[in-house]
């Protein structure tokens, strides 16, 4: 049975406006919020459109790139200077991102900038502790993980964490109480001071789900989206129903954590909308006279939505790749199921944070496009673990020192096993990166250097790039045969005409 979303019907006009690529006038509005009078009479659309991108690039302190409309194929990123091979071309700050749900037990990171937090001891102790819970009877697992979330290592509550006497001792390698001591600061490992990590800050709303590296990260996340998505006791008053929100998270954890990213997009748009409305009260009055589309405040919603309007291409259920185990004949029903899943998730989110003024954002059509944006545009979020550096440092010490340190670290390494250090992994949307066009012989790639230890995207030149040349990246595995490449790229809705494809 086909799903019907009543908001799709009621707000068809607004949804169409939100999904239209932003007009130059709309882009201009983003940077001159007081210039509402210019809304209808921009004379130089192309020039004006640059403003939005220039703002994005300037905010990233990136002077080597330009974003230009490039005829039929839309926008593209161009070099504004010469780059040598291996030069840093761009560091792109994400608009929204999230650590994968399953990765949260493995890597303890700031929920805003994704750097590792606490200490080497806390990173190791926390993993051992959570692993000891995992190793228990699976029947008990849910309860325990739940409990552990309630009492998991905020700096002031560390003593609340009571490690079971059996923790880590199944292998007999770790002395009793060691995990506890690692987590509560009672034990300092040799040479760990050489790998300092920022302290742990709890969420302002008291949710004990999100932690940060600093007060400023906690506040920035709160203001940009978490205040609507916090299940903490102190988060009241923001119009969020905490029980409904918990159900939404549960559903996302059981099905697909891409829904959490979609919730962040919606929440950050609502918050930005509210700020714009307050800040532009005067403009709003002027606007009332000329607003045609749908109510006086719709331009603010369009404006708040703009950062994402560059990103989406297709609905999620239309663009998600068919899994290998699904027969072609079942494609229609598979896509219907995905749509169903998105609809269920959206209803849960609506029950939690719906606001009438931003109702079009809660339509299935918009939700589908947001999730589709992550399906097609995302860059994996990866941050290397300092725990790995730590153990490598120990193994590289001169023999005597190494032996001495090894007495402490060996049991830990043995218990942690092969995956003794796990990277932070997640998904994020990067606005400049998302403007880069594809090539099967790209001149840049996303690559994290040793010093890149946060959630920003790092784009590096693969060969010299001269000023004026288009900067390209590969959306797919460019080593695949031509036919397979074209098939993969069909998901993105285009046929590749790069030099490599033309030659083949
Ligand atoms: Zn941070
Ligand atoms: Zn919170
Ligand atoms: Zn190609």
Looking at all shown ligands, the one closest to residue 473's CA atom is 3
Q: Kindly tell me the burial class for residue 230, based on how many C-beta atoms sit within 10 Å of its own C-beta (0-12, 13-18, 19 or more).
A: buried
Per-residue pLDDT at 238: 58
Which residue do the tokens 């325990």 mark?
144
Nearest ligand by distance to the CA of 236: 2
438 in a domain, yes or no?
Answer: no
**Average pLDDT value for the chain:** 82
Helix axes 258-279, 298-309, angle to 10 degrees: 140
pLDDT tens digit sequence for 396-428? 999 999 999 999 899 999 988 888 889 999 999
46 token code pair: 């192309």
Greater confidence (170 vs 211) lies with: 211
Percentage of the chain lying above the pLDDT 90 cut: 47
The secondary structure of 33-86 as a DSSP string is TT-GGGGG--S-HHHHHHHHHHHHHHHTT--SEEEEE-GGG-EEEEESS-B-TT
Evaluate if residue 73 carries a pLDDT over 80.
no
pLDDT, tens digit (0-9, with 9 covering 90-100), for 335-356:
999 999 999 999 999 999 999 9
Pair (26, 83) in one structural domain: yes
Contact of 260 with 427, CB cutoff 8 Å: no
């029980």: which residue's tokens?
243
Mean pLDDT of 379-406: 92
Asked if residue 152 has pLDDT above 70, the reply is: no
User: 478 in a domain, yes or no?
Assistant: no
| Between 169 and 327, the higher pLDDT residue | 327
Domains identified in the chain, total number: 2
User: Are 137 and 85 part of one and the same domain?
Assistant: no
> Same domain, yes or no, for 185 and 231?
no
Domain assignment of residue 73, yes or no: yes
Region of residue 381 (left: phi > 0; alpha: psi -120 to 50; beta: else): beta
Q: Pick the ligand that lies closest to the CA of residue 197.
A: 1
Picking from 73-77, 190-194, 435-439, which range would have the lowest pLDDT averaged per residue? 73-77
Residue 474 clears pLDDT 50, i.e. is over it? yes
pLDDT band at 493 (very low <50, low <70, confident <90, very high): confident
Q: What does R_g of the chain's alpha carbons equal in angstroms?
A: 25
Q: Which of 186, 182, 179, 150 is nearest to 165 (CA)?
A: 179
**DSSP alpha helices (H): ranges in 78-222?**
120-134, 138-150, 178-184, 215-221
217 alpha carbon, closest ligand: 1
**Ligand showing the shortest atom-to-Cα distance for residue 267:** 2
Alpha-carbon distance of 285 to 300, in angstroms, equals 12
Beta-carbon neighbours within 5 Å of ion ligand 3: 440, 496, 498, 501
How far apart are the CA of 132 and the centre of ligand 1, in A?
28
Ligand index nearest the alpha carbon of residue 229: 2
Please tell me the distance between residue 19's alpha carbon and the centre of ligand 2 in angstroms: 30
Ligand at minimal distance from the CA of 228 is 2
| Of the ranges 78-82, 147-151, 295-299, the best mean pLDDT one | 78-82
Give the model's pLDDT for residue 465: 97
CA 114–ligand 1 middle distance (angstroms):
6
Ligand 1 centroid from CA 116, angstroms = 8
Q: Is residue 108 part of a domain?
A: no
Check: CB of residue 203 under 8 Å from CB of residue 232.
yes
Lowest-pLDDT choice from 125-139, 249-263, 317-331: 125-139
Q: Are 249 and 396 within one domain?
A: no
Residue 390 CA, ligand 1 centroid: distance in Å: 21
pLDDT, tens digit (0-9, with 9 covering 90-100), for 422-449: 999 999 988 888 888 899 999 999 998 8
| Residue 123 placed within a domain | yes
Count, in order, helices (H) and strands (E) of the chain: 20, 12
Whether the pLDDT of residue 240 is over 50: the answer is yes
Identify the nearest ligand to the CA of 201 by its number. Answer: 1
CB 116 within 8 A of CB 389: no
Ligand with smallest separation from the Cα of 110: 1
Is 144 contained in some domain?
yes
Within a domain: 353: yes
Q: Please give the model's pTM, rounded to 2 decimal places.
A: 0.81
Residues 370 and 268 placed together within one structural domain of the fold: yes
| Same domain, residue pair 150 and 233 | no
Query: pLDDT band for position 291 (50/70/90)?
Result: very low
Residue that is last in its domain, among 327, 361, 379? 379
Same structural domain, 356 and 281: yes
Domain boundary among 327, 358, 379: 379
pLDDT at residue number 239:
65
State the residue range of the domain holding 12: 6-92+206-379
CA–centroid distance, residue 226 to ligand 2 (Å): 6
On whether both 221 and 348 belong to a single domain, the answer is yes
Rounded to the nearest angstrom, the distance between the alpha carbon of 112 and the centre of ligand 2 is 12
pLDDT at 44 over 50: no
Tell whether 229 and 280 lie within a shared domain: yes
| Residues 268 and 392 grouped into a single domain | no
Q: What is the DSSP string of 200-234?
A: PEE-TT--SS-EESSHHHHHHHIIIIIHHH--SGG
Distance 325 CA to ligand 3 centre (A): 27
Q: Are residues 251 and 375 in the same domain?
A: yes
Distance CA 321, CA 364 (A): 20
Query: In this predicted model, which residue has the larger pLDDT, 394 or 135?
Result: 394
Does 427 reside within a domain? Answer: no
Residues 321 and 243 in one domain: yes
């Amino acid at each position: 049975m086909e799903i019907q979303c009543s908001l799709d019907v009621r707000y068809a006009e607004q949804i169409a406006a939100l999904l239209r690529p932003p007009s130059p006038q709309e882009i201009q509005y983003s940077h001159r919020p007081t210039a509402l009078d210019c809304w209808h009479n921009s004379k130089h659309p192309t020039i004006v459109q640059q403003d939005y991108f220039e703002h994005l690039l300037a905010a990233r302190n990136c002077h080597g790139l330009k974003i230009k409309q490039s005829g039929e194929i839309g926008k593209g990123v161009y070099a504004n200077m010469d780059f040598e091979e291996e030069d840093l071309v761009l560091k792109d700050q994400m608009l929204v991102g999230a650590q994968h749900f399953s990765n949260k037990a493995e890597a303890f990171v700031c929920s805003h900038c994704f750097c590792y937090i606490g200490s080497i001891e806390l990173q190791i102790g926390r993993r051992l502790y959570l692993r000891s819970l995992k190793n228990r009877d699976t029947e008990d697992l849910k309860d325990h993980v739940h409990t552990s979330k309630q009492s998991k290592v905020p700096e002031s509550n560390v003593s609340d964490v009571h490690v079971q006497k059996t923790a880590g001792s199944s292998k007999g390698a770790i002395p009793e109480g060691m995990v506890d001591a690692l987590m509560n600061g009672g034990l300092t490992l040799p040479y760990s001071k050489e790998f300092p990590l920022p302290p742990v800050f709890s969420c302002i709303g008291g949710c004990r789900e999100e932690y940060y590296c600093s007060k400023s990260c906690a506040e920035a996340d709160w203001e940009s989206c978490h205040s609507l998505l916090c299940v903490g006791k102190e988060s009241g008053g923001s119009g969020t129903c905490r029980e409904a929100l918990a159900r939404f998270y549960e559903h996302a954890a059981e099905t697909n954590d891409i829904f959490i990213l979609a919730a962040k997009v919606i929440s950050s748009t609502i918050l930005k909308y509210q700020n714009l409305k307050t800040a532009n009260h005067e403009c709003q009055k002027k606007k009332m006279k000329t607003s045609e589309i749908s109510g006086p405040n719709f331009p603010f919603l369009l404006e708040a939505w703009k950062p994402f309007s560059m990103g989406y291409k297709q609905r999620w259920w239309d663009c998600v790749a068919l899994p290998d185990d699904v027969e072609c004949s079942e494609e229609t029903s598979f896509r219907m199921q995905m749509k169903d899943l998105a609809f269920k998730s959206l209803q849960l989110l609506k029950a939690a944070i719906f606001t009438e003024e931003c109702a079009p954002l809660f339509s299935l059509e918009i939700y589908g496009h947001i999730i589709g944006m992550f399906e097609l545009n995302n860059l994996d979020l990866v941050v290397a673990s300092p725990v790995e550096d730590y153990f490598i440092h120990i193994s590289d010490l001169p023999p005597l020192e190494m032996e001495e340190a090894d007495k402490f670290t060996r049991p830990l390494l043995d218990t942690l096993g092969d995956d003794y250090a796990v990277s932070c992994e997640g998904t994020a949307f990067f606005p400049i990166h998302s403007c880069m066009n594809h090539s099967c012989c790209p001149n840049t790639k996303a690559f994290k250097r040793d010093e890149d230890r946060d959630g920003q995207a790092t784009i590096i030149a693969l060969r010299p790039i001269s000023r004026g040349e288009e900067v390209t990246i590969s959306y797919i595995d460019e080593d695949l045969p031509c036919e397979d490449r074209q098939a993969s790229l069909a998901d993105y809705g285009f046929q590749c005409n790069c030099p490599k494809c033309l030659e083949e």
